[in-house]
Amino acid sequence: MKITSEHVIVHSMKKNLLKMQVTDCDFTKIRVGIVASSYNQKLSQSLLFGCKKGLRSQGVLNKRITLLWAPGAFEIPFMCRKLMLLKKFDILIALGVIIKGETDHYEYVCKGTVEGLISLNLLGEIPIIFEVLMVHNFEHALARCSRVDMHNNKGYEAALAAFNMIEALDRIRYNALV
């Protein structure tokens, strides 16, 4: 089923409601680059499953999706930059799971990943959808990586966010030409 402007997906995030809407744009021609962390790979694969399901829901074919696996979340910004330099993609999606351990490593990896992706997004070349989960335990990660319920799969939400970003950019381009 195609999502139209009448469909609104509502989910709860930290007791706030976040509304994500995808409209009637034709997304079948977009080129998507996905960079996923191979660390916590089973969880990342679940995010990827949801992301691809979301992309396919709007007609994006597998041949228009390029996937790169980064060794860990810290390396995701580097891999995203490499895809950016190719200038073949309309949007990039960063997927991964960072689980807090007993050392400070978690904070450094989270900070480096966030800062790296923010820096790339601010370049303004290609938008990057950020869906690197930063959680305190495995159970929190599992709750956000469901393969059954796409409302509990942050990868699926990343695909919807990608469509919203592409539509917003199209509106900006259209208004700039009018």
Question: Annotated active-site positions, please?
Answer: 105
DSSP 74: G
* Cα–Cα distance measured from residue 11 to residue 2, given in angstroms and rounded to the nearest whole number: 19
**73: which residues sit within 8 A by CB, 6+ positions away?**
37, 39, 96, 97, 98, 109, 110, 113, 132
Dist. CA 58–CA 60, nearest whole Å: 6
* Structural tokens at position 102: 């007993």
| H or E stretch at 68 | strand 65-70
CA angle, 120 then 126 then 127, to 5°: 75
Please give the Cα distance from 141 to 171 (Å, whole number): 35
Residue 80: CB partners within 8 Å, gap ≥ 6?
A: 33, 35, 92, 94, 116, 117, 120, 128
